[in-house]
Every structure is written in C-alpha cells, then in structure tokens.
C-alpha cells in the first residue's frame, strides 16, 4: 500500500518552495496522487506562472503514482459530500480523501481544516 496520498496543495508547496515543502519532499518517495489532484496542481501552478513542464517533470522525477479517478472513487468522493459540505472542501479535496481511503494511506495537505474532520484516514499537515 501507498504510504501517503498528496493533495494538490502539498505538491504546489514543493513547486513554489513554500513553507512545508521539505516536509512534503521527505514523504514523496512511494507517494500517490489522484489524477484529479495532479490536474489541479498543474492548473494552479500554471496560473501562478510556473510551466506545465516543470510540474509534470516533478511528478515524473519523484515517481509519484498517479491514481486514475474511476467510477468507484467517484462514488466514494460523492459520499463524502455530506461530511465535508460545511467545511468548504472542494470536489478535488474529496477526490484526494477518497483516494487515501482506498489506499489505506495518510493524506499530506496544507489545508488545516482537514485535520479537524472525522475522516477514515490519517491527515498530516505540512505546516
């Protein structure tokens, strides 16, 4: 099983050299990421002026396992909506949580509200 599943915010911290980047880098070996979250990380990084090639190269060099967002993950993410609705979690956030649930993995994120939720998987905050 995968040791951890990265949220887009974790990968973006590495790309942008934000606080918490070293924490994420130490957990990237053997890490996975939903294709939904990888897409979000690319989109948001490009919006901030980073190249798409930089983000995809980081994913490749770090050998992040990209997990396809299939029908089972879609249903699992949808089932999380009632639990997360009042906390402002996005569809991509629920995709990350559903991926971690499937993998029996710890979520690595910069989003501090996740640590306050009663999720069926552990959460590590990067800062």
The separation between the first and the last C-alpha atoms of the chain, rounded to the nearest angstrom, is 25
Indicate which CATH number applies to the domain containing 10.
3.40.50.1010
pTM of the predicted model as reported, rounded to 2 decimal places: 0.94
Alpha carbon 100 to its chain's center: 9
pLDDT at position 88: 93
How is residue 92 written in tokens?
Answer: 């991509």
Distance between CA atoms of residues 124 and 107, nearest Å: 6
What is the domain count for the chain?
1
Q: Which domain holds residue 20?
A: 4-125
Residue 11: per-residue pLDDT = 97
Using left for φ > 0, alpha for ψ between -120 and 50, and beta otherwise, residue 88 falls in left
The 10s digit of each residue's pLDDT in 84-120 is 989 999 999 999 999 999 999 999 999 999 999 999 9
Helices 35-47, 91-103: axis angle to 10 degrees equals 140
- Specify the pLDDT at position 1: 54
């Amino acid at each position: 099983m995968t040791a951890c599943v990265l949220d887009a915010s974790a990968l973006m911290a590495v790309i942008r050299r934000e606080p918490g980047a070293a924490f994420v880098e130490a957990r990237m070996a053997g890490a996975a990421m939903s294709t939904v979250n990888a897409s979000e990380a690319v989109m948001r990084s490009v919006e901030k002026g980073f190249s798409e090639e930089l983000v995809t190269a980081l994913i490749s060099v770090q050998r992040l396992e990209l997990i396809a967002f299939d029908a089972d993950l879609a249903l699992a993410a949808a089932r999380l909506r009632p639990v997360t609705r009042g906390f402002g979690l996005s569809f991509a956030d629920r995709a990350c949580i559903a991926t971690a649930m499937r993998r029996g993995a710890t979520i690595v994120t910069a989003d501090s509200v996740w640590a306050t939720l009663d999720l069926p998987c552990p959460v590590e905050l990067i800062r």
